Structure 1
């Protein structure tokens, strides 16, 4: 077979270009730590990496939702504890109001109960990040409206929210609701915080009843009617506190699992995309050696230096 005079130079140039391309790619891998720079480097791995990135993005969003839920749940939990203190004091006043108390003392107790009602409304009307906590899904308006008479006594506390609560996704196909509607007398759905027809809880109504009976000196009615009602309200509130505490614990557990899942996914991406530095350096050294050998052999065979050849 006849070989033309320019066959070897052309082959040498092609070999040098191939080695140079490999050398550049390995140098880039060494500098960046990434095995894959372009989709054509490893199409199968690219597909796996894209799937891992999609899954990681979803888990990170779930993790962000959990952070928001945890924050809101803790604010609500603190409100429940503050409400429990009001419930405790109301129970104490209902116990103190017996036949041994003077009318003036009962009037003083009534004034304190009025203040307790106002304080409870203030607690339950608080916002978090611009949204009311205990209004159900009507988070743009205060859940409770207070009505007083000319003497400043509370005559009514009206619930303006609804009995619905929003849920946020915390995993694939899993939604979690942490809000508590202020009241729910529909007989279904989440239990209301201060009023619920299923348990007979109606905290504000019973506080107003206590206030009014103190004003009239009806200590017998307080003992027989108001005190048992306040005890039921307290049990109802304790149930909410227990449930909220359990929700916070669940959020923390799921958050920890999400963190571990994100770490695992990041490690999987790293295994697919990251270059093995030791192996890459060995390969780079081999390619550089081959490149220098090609230059030397070419120069020897052609009896010219690389610079001469390039001219």
Structure 2
């Protein structure tokens, strides 16, 4: 086979270009710590990294949603507990009616219940980040509207909120509403109305009227206990999802690192080997190309 005079320089140039390309790649990897700086470096691994990062981004959003939901439940539980405290005091007063000696004492309790009613109304209309806790997705900032007489006393309670609530995706396939259920919102309205009736019964000064309010007040208290229990169970469920999301987020970070990060020790060794090969190629080429036809005449 006939070898042309320029075949050696051409092969040499090609070899040096390949070595230069490898050194450039290894230098970039050691500088950035990344094995994949371009999808062409490892197409299949690049696709996996993109998928892992997409899942990681979704999990991060789920975690933020879960944190917000957890905050809403914490705020809702606190307000329901405040309302429950009013309920407990009202039921305590019912049990004390047998010891009440006259209408003056009943009037004093009626004044106390009227103050507790106003307090419970404030709790029921509580907001979290500008949104009512017990008003559903309705636009009303005060879902419980008080009807008052000429003296400013509450005579009735209307619920003007919505029966639907906002929902959050807190994990893959898990969408929850951290707000109080429509039934809880209605139960709160019923309790406030029961307080109105209880106050009026006390103001009447008739012991039988007061005792007649006991069943409704007890039912309201049971409903409030159920609401607190339901919110607690939902919060526990969300906290489990948050823990699982956190674990998966860390696992994905490790998988991305395994796929994309370079083994620095190995990359440095390869870079040194390529640099040595490059220098050897240059030295060899220098010795060969230094000869001419005249040297053999």
TM-score past 0.5 threshold = yes
Which has the larger share of helix?
2
Sort the Cα spacing of 1:100 and 1:174 in 2 relative to 1 into closer, same or farther, 3 A.
closer
Aligned pair 1:195/2:156, yes or no? no
Deviation at 1:192, TM superposition (A): 2.4
| Equivalent in the alignment of 2:266 | 279
Contact kept? 1:203, 1:233, Cα under 8 Å:
yes
Which structure has more relative contact order (CA 8 Å, sep 6+)? It is 2
Aligned pair 1:230/2:222, yes or no? no
TM-score by length of 2: 0.92
Contact kept? 1:98, 1:220, Cα under 8 Å:
no
- CA offsets per residue over residues 57-96 of structure 1, 9 Å max, x none? 2111111110110111111111111111111111122222
Deviation at 1:34, TM superposition (A): 0.6
Listed as ranges, the matches of 1:282-293 within 5 Å are 282-293=269-280
Aligned pair 1:220/2:212, yes or no? no
| Equivalent in the alignment of 1:165 | 165
| Equivalent in the alignment of 1:102 | 102
- CA offsets per residue over residues 225-262 of structure 1, 9 Å max, x none? 21222111111100111111111111111100000011
Structure 2, unmatched stretches of 5+, are 292-297
Deviation at 1:100, TM superposition (A): 3.1
Aligned pair 1:204/2:204, yes or no? no
| Equivalent in the alignment of 1:187 | none
| Equivalent in the alignment of 1:307 | none
Deviation at 1:10, TM superposition (A): 2.2
| Equivalent in the alignment of 2:230 | 243
Listed as ranges, the matches of 1:16-35 within 5 Å are 16-35=16-35
Sort the Cα spacing of 1:154 and 1:98 in 2 relative to 1 into closer, same or farther, 3 A.
farther
> What CA distance in whole angstroms lies between the structure 1 residues aligned with 2:243 and 2:139?
29
Deviation at 1:23, TM superposition (A): 0.4
> What CA distance in whole angstroms lies between the structure 2 residues aligned with 1:170 and 1:240?
21
- CA offsets per residue over residues 19-57 of structure 1, 9 Å max, x none? 111001001111111111111111111111111122112
> What CA distance in whole angstroms lies between the structure 2 residues aligned with 1:176 and 1:13?
65
Contact kept? 2:100, 2:106, Cα under 8 Å:
no
Runs of 4+ in 1 over 3 A off after TM superposition: none
Deviation at 1:152, TM superposition (A): 3.1
TM-score by length of 1: 0.88
| Equivalent in the alignment of 1:137 | 137
> What CA distance in whole angstroms lies between the structure 2 residues aligned with 1:257 and 1:195?
34
Contact kept? 2:72, 2:128, Cα under 8 Å:
yes
Aligned pair 1:263/2:250, yes or no? yes
> What CA distance in whole angstroms lies between the structure 2 residues aligned with 1:154 and 1:125?
15
- For this pair of structures, how many residues does the alignment match? 291
